[in-house]
Amino acid sequence: MKKHLVVVGSINMDLVVRTPRMPLPGETLLGSDFHTIPGGKGANQTVAVARQGAAVKMIGCVGNDDFGQAQWRCLNAEGIDLSLLQVDAQQATGIAVIMIDQNGQNSIIVSPGANSAVSVAQINAAKETIAQAAMLICQLEVPIESVIQAIELAHHCQTPTLLNPAPASRELPPALFEKVTYLILNETEAEILTGESVSDVMSAKTAAMRLRDAGAQTVILTLGAHGAVVAYDGELYHEPALSVKAVDTTAAGDTFVGCFAAAISEGLAVPDAVRLATHASAISVTKLGAQPSIPTRQEVEQFIAQRRD
């Protein structure tokens, strides 16, 4: 029986600062509340899976530095299998500089560092692990050729695949989408991949169907405060968002991905997994930081119960 999930992805240390608003070109603003917080889309999604109670292994790379050692300790403390994680002595651990405005919206600059060392050879060495996995999860903060190889291997081994194409890239070969079981992306990423504007639920439905037509079996297009559009198995519907006070939207999408993947691996149907992931991501935006904001399954279930009352 396939029990574990595998994440191929980035590991960054997030350098987070609050700002009253995003600065204009050439402008200097006084920020506040600087924090150093574990992050990276791959690591965030791995933590999200683990906190939902699922077994998960991560394929990635950190530098031989303080940030790398800190990330290793944090991921290990979550019960994540790090046997496929590598240390690159030549490059620093990846970092992300994150500015958060007074409305909780963020702007992010990523310096990949050791994430760029995640190689095709490292993926190939994990072939058996991928073959035995309940699902493979990928994003695009590691080299595209490594992501493509991981998805190719998973498809060949009939392992379900989840692709979160962030940051979005037009370099993805069209044939890759035919090997993606679950495609989860936001409106900006959908615009880049389809070439069409996504500004509301209707345009999101159009974009989701285009991506379905491109080959992805299930497309989930997240729209922040406007919820998500889901296209799967001949159905197309809108899942409303939950009304919460946003503090920081960092890792909301990663929380959604990890929670959805864990729920699917448990046997939940797509609509139920989407609903669970929507509640999890709603919780995440009420807290500061990437991994510190990701809820456990118990928190999600309590949140759902409270909203029923």
Between the CA atoms of 118, 120, 126 and 128, what dihedral angle is there, to the nearest 10 degrees? Answer: 160
What the block records as the tokens of 184 is 């989860």
Binding-site residues for substrate, in ranges, read 12-14, 40-44, 141, 254
Q: Are 161 and 176 in contact (CB under 8 A)?
A: no
* Local structure of residue 116 (DSSP, 8 states): G
| CB contact set of 9 (below 8 Å; sequence gap of 6+) | 40, 41, 42, 43, 45, 46, 58, 59, 60, 137, 138, 139, 141, 142
Pairing of β 135-138 and β 5-8: parallel
- Closest by CA to 167, choosing from 138, 195, 145, is 138
Binding-site residues for K(+), in ranges, read 248, 250, 284, 287, 289, 293
- Closest by CA to 160, choosing from 270, 86, 76, 271, is 270
Binding-site residues for ATP, in ranges, read 186, 222-227, 253-254
Whether 254 sits among the annotated catalytic residues: the reply is yes
> What is the residue whose two structure tokens read 């370099």?
171
Of 33, 66, 101, 254, the active-site residue reads 254
Pairing of β 56-63 and β 85-88: parallel
Binding-site residues, in ranges, read 12-14, 40-44, 141, 186, 222-227, 248, 250, 253-254, 284, 287, 289, 293
Q: Is 149 exposed, middle or buried (0-12, 13-18, 19+ CB in 10 A)?
A: buried
What is the distance, to the nearest Å, from the Cα of residue 53 to the centroid of all Cα atoms in its chain? 17
Q: Are 83 and 56 in contact (CB under 8 A)?
A: no
Which residues does the annotation mark as catalytic? 254
